[in-house]
């Protein structure tokens, strides 16, 4: 999972699919460059000017993608940063090999082996990054495009381990759309689906960049708020709640609806399990419903 990207927005399924395709194209272009470069080494052909440039890693197709769309789409992912460092080093070694051919000198075995090792490391990192992006697609909710509960649970377990290791305070929240059944019953399930997609887009756009959101089931959503106390989470979620209740959602040409939501909040307690925290947040959410709906309730014994 792309759990390491705490400085970037959560990915949607459409975003993940686009990133996978872009990365696949960039890697294929890089393989084409490798094939050509190795062919020039074997035949001792004259190196291309770009092979001899000090910043050659910026001029190959993969390097241009990395510095442009890649940096934008994978910002904050440590595997992507590592991939860039390996790519830069590989081009440095390739430049030395190209210089040896240009000078009509013999390539030392150790010199080529260093390049080959760097190339193997690059490929391993590239495929790991690609596998992570593809893995995300397995755990995305097909209706809304955001993570489903099975995609969120590993991230919650990682956060719980961090809470136990560092004594930080992090919270989870269960959010349930108020009177959602009325929309399905009066306007049809297709309209309900449009509401769910619109709410998902709103949450992804408006959570903090290090928060995570998933569709938990039906009209319920699960949110993770790292490094946030329950009181702090209440403030964050109240802002989301107010913003959502002010939005109008067009479900067909003639009909717009508004929707409220009730939130329950609970801390990730290092002495308990993730599921216990989710259950407590769920209990708090039902307390919010009983207290009048469209509000945030923090769990308390």
Q: Are 237 and 178 contacting, i.e. CB atoms less than 8 angstroms apart?
A: no
- Bridge partners of 264? 174, 297
135 carries an active-site annotation: no
Element housing 248 (H / E): none
Indicate the burial class of 33 (C-beta count within 10 angstroms; 0-12, 13-18, 19 or more).
buried
3-class DSSP state of 167: coil
How would you classify the pairing of strands 256-257 and 249-250?
Answer: antiparallel
CA atoms within 13 A on the CB side of 190: 3
Radius of gyration of the chain (CA): 25
Q: Are 61 and 67 contacting, i.e. CB atoms less than 8 angstroms apart?
A: no
How would you classify the pairing of strands 171-177 and 249-250?
Answer: unpaired
Q: Are 6 and 41 contacting, i.e. CB atoms less than 8 angstroms apart?
A: no
For residues 57 and 45, what is the distance between their CA atoms, to the nearest angstrom? 20
Which one of 24, 157, 219, 287 is the catalytic residue? Answer: 219
Indicate which residues carry an active-site annotation: 219
């Amino acid at each position: 999972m792309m759990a390491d990207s705490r400085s970037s927005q959560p990915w949607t399924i459409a975003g993940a699919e686009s990133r996978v395709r872009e990365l696949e194209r960039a890697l294929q272009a890089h393989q084409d460059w490798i094939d050509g470069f190795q062919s020039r080494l074997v035949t001792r052909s004259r190196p291309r000017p770009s092979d001899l440039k000090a910043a050659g890693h910026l001029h190959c197709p993969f390097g241009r993608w990395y510095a442009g769309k890649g940096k934008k789409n994978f910002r904050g992912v440590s595997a992507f940063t590592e991939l860039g460092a390996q790519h830069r080093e590989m081009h440095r070694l390739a430049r030395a090999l190209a210089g040896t051919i240009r000078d009509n000198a013999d390539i030392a075995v150790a010199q080529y082996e260093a390049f080959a090792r760097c190339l193997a490391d690059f490929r391993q990192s590239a495929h790991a990054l690609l596998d992570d992006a593809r893995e995300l697609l397995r755990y995305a909710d097909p209706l809304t495009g955001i993570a489903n509960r099975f995609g969120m649970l590993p991230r919650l377990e990682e956060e719980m381990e961090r809470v136990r290791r560092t004594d930080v305070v992090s919270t989870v929240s269960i959010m349930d759309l108020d009177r959602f059944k009325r929309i399905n019953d009066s306007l049809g399930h297709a309209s309900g689906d449009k509401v769910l997609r619109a709410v998902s887009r709103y949450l992804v756009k408006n959570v903090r960049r290090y928060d995570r959101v998933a569709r938990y089931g039906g009209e319920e959503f699960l949110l993770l708020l790292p490094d946030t106390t329950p009181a702090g989470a209440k403030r964050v979620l109240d802002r989301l709640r107010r913003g959502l209740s002010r939005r109008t959602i067009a479900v067909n040409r003639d009909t717009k609806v508004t929707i409220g939501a009730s939130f329950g909040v609970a801390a990730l307690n290092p002495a308990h399990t993730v599921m216990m925290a989710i259950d407590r947040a769920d209990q708090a959410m039902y307390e919010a419903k009983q207290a009048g709906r469209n509000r945030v309730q923090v769990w308390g014994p």
